[in-house]
Structure 1
Amino acid sequence: MSILVGNIRLPLGAADAEALEAAAKKCGLSMRELCGAHIYRASIDARRGKITRVLSVLLDLAETQREEAVVARVGKNDVRLKKPAQQPVPTGTAHMEHRPIVVGLGPGGLFAAYVLAKNGYCPRVFERGQSMESRDRAVTAFFSGGAFDPASNIQFGEGGAGAYSDGKLTTRINDPMSEWVLRIFVEHGAPEEILYKAKPHIGTDILKRVVCSMREEIIRLGGEVYFGCTLTGVRSRNGALTAAVIDGQEIACDRLILAIGHSARDTFEHLLHSGVYLEPKPFSVGARIEHLQEDLNASLYGKLAGHPALPPAEYTLSHRENGRACYSFCMCPGGQVVAAQSEPHAIVTNGMSYHARDGRNANAAIVVSVNPSDFPTSDALGGVAFQREIERRAFQLTGGYRAPCQTVGDFFAGKPSRKHGRVAPTYPIGVQYTSLGSVLPDFVLAHMQIGLRQFGRKIRGFDAPDALLTAPETRTSSPVRMTRLDNRHSQQIAGLIPCGEGAGYAGGIMSAAVDGIGCAQEILQTFRPLEERRDEVCSKQRQ
């Protein structure tokens, strides 16, 4: 147990040691009473015309069992107890007849497989896309004007959709396992700064290497990873899982963690035919907005813009009106808009940035909430049909994979754009200047206009005429939810464990990773490890 001391404010040039001393003083402690102290969180406050470091410090007492008394004596909200990041999980005693299977190698599946491998359960992992190395070649070729690969793209492949993003690791969930996720990322090559930055991010360039390192560790510990393998169904008997169907071949299993991501539409259909209950769920659609990063810096930092201590400015915006929300999503400072389709003859946009975030433009999705009542059909896949209609309409409009694009000025005026202004598009395949009214539903357009006007009041220049909108953004979250019980199993099939964003239980890298850990822990708590299999693998590696 440690003591977490927050809201320590220091001048920009202050050393970390000053924060540690200030934290001890706040608790009425001397540094001699501590056996350890380090920075837990660090952020920059650039409001009111000056830059201030805002820090939280973690203190470990030399004399244990005093922590509760110290916190009680101080009696302040920003001084509290901090439990260890990783909680021990008891190992079950039941015998597992078959090795556990993980389907999908995005954040949810990756961390589920990693935890299973670390604890001696030797998982078998099946990913429909390709390894990061092959996937990167396919994505690069497509961005350069080459053919689209339905099996290997920004949505499908090792690392999942999160591998081609900003690598943002902020999360709204308050789960102690989040800290452990960050530590695993650092062990596999992520920068240590993600452990203490208030808004940590890895960046697409580094995240891809981290994912590969974790995959190699899974294999070293006795797991197996297969690429180009698609789940085409599951088998059950008397309400219990008996097998996974991979490309038509049945593979017996007791437990299957289903981490297929939010875009595996054909797999959704196979699961329905296998008796798995899916229900439609809300998500959001809209477009990517781009501004010059230097303009955004000036708007948010004022006269401090350009100060070397300040990161590229970023934002989170939302406005609710008439029962719908319009909000920013997946903001990428110094990034680019990318092509994120998973099916041919469709257009989907997303955003990504590298660790340096040094691109000319900032981008984010500006999206509007949609509900099952908006979908063209009332069945489980009504949301998929809603997405497809928008994505295919965009493809038909441009006659290929160029994305529809419109300036904000023309968007408000209701007229097609002919060219861009100061903000040039970053979408790699090229854009076609047009009207987004030919792509997005009328109610989405109307709420985007309301939202943009409101956001312009919060950030000067946000609704400037030469800001750029590139459409459509349709994959904000899964259009379905695979309902599960309190033990994380499917409510129809015991042993089938829906996981992560595709199952409707996460949104983003961190929450999907934490959900993957929880799904793996369910297996740990029930079954004993497969030590014989692990010993066999380790023996072969020594030979």
Structure 2
Amino acid sequence: MIEITNIKASLKQGSTEESCLKACKREATRLLNIQSQDIAHIALHRKSIDARKKSNVHFILSARIELCDHAQELACVETLNESARKNIHLIDSDEPHFPQPDTIGRRPALRPVVVGAGCAGLFAALTLAHAGLEPLLIERGADATRRTRDVEHFNRTGELNESSNIQFGLGGAGTFSDGKLTTGTKNPLHRLILQTFVEAGAPREILWDAKPHIGSDILPAVVTDIVAQIENLGGEVCFNTQMVDIARTTAGAISSITISSQDADGQKHEEVIATSQLILACGHSARDVFALLSQRDFSLQRKTFAMGVRIEHLQCDIDRAQYGSAAGHPALGAAPYKLVAHTKNGRSLFSFCMCPGGQVVAAASEAHGVVTNGASLHARDGANANAALLVNINPQDLPGDDPLAGIDLQRSCERRAFEIGGGAYRAPAQLVGDFMAHRPSTGAATVAPTYPRGVTWTEIDPCLPAHVAETLRLGIPALGRKLRGYDHPDAALTAIESRSSSPVTIMRDSSCRALGAEGLYPCGEGAGYAGGIMSAATDGIRCAQALIADLR
């Protein structure tokens, strides 16, 4: 197979998959000196926007091509001059796939258990199911349909279901935060994950878009389909089921877990599930799980995480700043951004989970705490752009040596945000201009906050760690120099963004095995080994592969 990269296409040429393929095919025949009928198959592999020159915004495409005569592929590439070879490569056409039952050596007497149905847990369970291991997947929250109702009910009434919300339920925190599939890591498994999403109902363009996303309106159906795949392969998925204890043998190996579930009448039931293989993909907000692990002497360590605020601008202003006169072109859509500023206090301010045309969401999972996050629907057609503006909290910033100290800081800031927001899960908000001037805000300007529970205009400093507030003030003007208008005084800040990542690492070795606990595989973002949907799904597959390898 031949891969051709760095194919330039105008906005019109890159507007659809069909037009992109035409541009790629035309360039392939020119560069390889072949006829169009020599091409047996061509597929769009990557599409990105080049907006470095605002007067010439265009697309950069990559395509993968199979010729009718495979021997001709080698000959075509070998005859290229050195300049052309920079963008033309022979690649292996083999792609990763899920393991099959015949890859298992010793089938375990007890089925493996996966805790948590976020992307890490879903892909771990799906991998085990493909291998014929019939895993049990438990999730403390609800299925997608019920979870959607619970989130909408909370947005309307302020009545929080602490087990089914933006953080907990099928798909994890990613389900209602846009479904962004961008990642800073490279792994052959990414293609398998994207293909799995597409087969489950995600838009095909995620296979080639350089910044793919599914959308919070589509992702619930996608993860529901993945659950059906797990069940069709012999796995079992239980919602509204929470792990409340873990038991080990005297040698330290996993022997069972205790689960608590609730029936239709609201009655709680506990059950002990015997298992010797446990993939723990609990998510970054499962604070009770971290407390349980600490009580049971599992190996935990505090890690760097981040806290800050959500910032909102008018999406049309971001579009103009990014695309110039091309802003608004239907082929471009709403413009994203990714920014970082290194400040004179030795800290850094960076954007995270940027949601073009989206809204700020109410992401609390504990009573009397305000948490913000961001989301976009697939169309990304909302009036505002929003993103987290975050500052790292390093282990040395925390008092004492308790590995759960980061959780204590998160919780105290969230409760303070609840208080200064006035209760009812209203969020404290402040205009950028007022924040920079150390004065409370009294109302919105040109940017209307989208947080669904409503905001209280005030000062946000009281709910932020001091160094976070300081770094925000130092960094926002620097970000304005990188993206025109970013520091506009009318931009709105909503607090607090405190759940961008886990403050705890569940220690494991290079083969994904927990330290001192045979049969336990800490997994995903909550365990400290991922930072988004793609990396979490990748880690889920890796942990399942490690479990399967141990069975051999």
TM-based fold match above 0.5:
yes
Counterpart residue number, 1:520? 544
Matches within 5 A, 1:336-351: 336-351=359-374
Matched, 1:38 2:43: yes
| Residues 344-382 of structure 1, C-alpha deviations (whole Å, 9 max, x = no match) | 010110000100001111000011111011123421101
Counterpart residue number, 1:498? 522
Deviates further, 313-322 or 324-333: 313-322
CA-CA distance at 1:448 after TM superposition: 0.7
| Paired AA for residue 115 in structure 2 | V
Q: Specify which of 139, 148, 155 is matched with residue 167 of structure 2.
A: 155
User: 1: distance between equivalents of 2:410 and 2:396?
Assistant: 14
CA-CA distance at 1:135 after TM superposition: 1.1
- The 3-state SS of whatever aligns with 1:343 is coil
CA-CA distance at 1:429 after TM superposition: 0.4
Counterpart residue number, 1:482? 506
Uncovered stretches (5+) of structure 2, i.e. residues with no partner: 14-18, 261-269
| Paired AA for residue 496 in structure 1 | L
Q: Specify which of 395, 398, 412 is matched with residue 372 of structure 1.
A: 395
CA-CA distance at 1:299 after TM superposition: 1.6
- The 3-state SS of whatever aligns with 1:148 is coil
Deviates further, 84-93 or 476-485: 84-93
How many equivalent pairs are there? 527
Counterpart residue number, 2:284? 262
Counterpart residue number, 1:113? 125
Matched, 1:192 2:201: no
CA-CA distance at 1:184 after TM superposition: 0.6
CA-CA distance at 1:28 after TM superposition: 4.5
Matched, 1:56 2:62: yes
| Paired AA for residue 397 in structure 1 | I
- The 3-state SS of whatever aligns with 1:337 is strand
Counterpart residue number, 1:535? none
Counterpart residue number, 2:31? 26
Determine what percentage of the aligned residue pairs are the same residue.
Answer: 47
User: 2: distance between equivalents of 1:143 and 1:399?
Assistant: 16
User: 2: distance between equivalents of 1:496 and 1:72?
Assistant: 50
| Paired AA for residue 229 in structure 1 | T
For normalisation by structure 2, the TM-score amounts to 0.92
| Residues 391-448 of structure 1, C-alpha deviations (whole Å, 9 max, x = no match) | 1111122231100000000000001100110001100001000101111122111111
Counterpart residue number, 2:242? 230
Counterpart residue number, 2:265? none
CA-CA distance at 1:88 after TM superposition: 6.9
Residues 88 and 192 from structure 1, CA distance in 2 versus in 1: closer, same or farther, beyond 3 angstroms?
Answer: closer
Matches within 5 A, 1:416-495: 416-495=440-519
Residues 41 and 418 from structure 1, CA distance in 2 versus in 1: closer, same or farther, beyond 3 angstroms?
Answer: same
Q: Specify which of 95, 98, 107 is matched with residue 95 of structure 1.
A: 107
| Paired AA for residue 128 in structure 1 | R
User: 1: distance between equivalents of 2:257 and 2:157?
Assistant: 37
Contact 1:233 1:244 in 2 (8 A): yes
User: 2: distance between equivalents of 1:427 and 1:11?
Assistant: 37
Counterpart residue number, 2:143? 131
| Paired AA for residue 61 in structure 1 | L
CA-CA distance at 1:309 after TM superposition: 1.9
Counterpart residue number, 1:412? 436
CA-CA distance at 1:337 after TM superposition: 0.4
- The 3-state SS of whatever aligns with 1:380 is coil
CA-CA distance at 1:30 after TM superposition: 4.1
| Residues 33-75 of structure 1, C-alpha deviations (whole Å, 9 max, x = no match) | 4322111111233433133221001012334466566556545
Deviates further, 42-51 or 214-223: 42-51
Residues 114 and 458 from structure 1, CA distance in 2 versus in 1: closer, same or farther, beyond 3 angstroms?
Answer: same
Contact 1:124 1:224 in 2 (8 A): yes
For normalisation by structure 1, the TM-score amounts to 0.93
Counterpart residue number, 2:252? 239
| Paired AA for residue 348 in structure 1 | V
Q: Specify which of 394, 397, 410 is matched with residue 420 of structure 2.
A: 397
Counterpart residue number, 2:532? 508
Deviates further, 28-37 or 302-311: 28-37
- The 3-state SS of whatever aligns with 2:54 is helix
Q: Specify which of 150, 156, 165 is matched with residue 144 of structure 1.
A: 156
Contact 2:368 2:415 in 1 (8 A): yes
User: 2: distance between equivalents of 1:496 and 1:65?
Assistant: 48
CA-CA distance at 1:133 after TM superposition: 1.3
Counterpart residue number, 1:304? 326
CA-CA distance at 1:494 after TM superposition: 1.3
Counterpart residue number, 1:273? 295
User: 2: distance between equivalents of 1:334 and 1:426?
Assistant: 11
Matched, 1:352 2:381: no
| Paired AA for residue 239 in structure 1 | G
Counterpart residue number, 2:263? none
Matched, 1:205 2:228: no
Counterpart residue number, 1:86? 96
Counterpart residue number, 1:388? 411
| Paired AA for residue 153 in structure 2 | A
User: 1: distance between equivalents of 2:411 and 2:259?
Assistant: 25
Residues 72 and 300 from structure 1, CA distance in 2 versus in 1: closer, same or farther, beyond 3 angstroms?
Answer: same
| Residues 287-315 of structure 1, C-alpha deviations (whole Å, 9 max, x = no match) | 00000111111222222222222210110
| Paired AA for residue 65 in structure 2 | L
Counterpart residue number, 1:537? none
Contact 2:107 2:133 in 1 (8 A): no
User: 1: distance between equivalents of 2:296 and 2:161?
Assistant: 27
| Paired AA for residue 318 in structure 1 | V
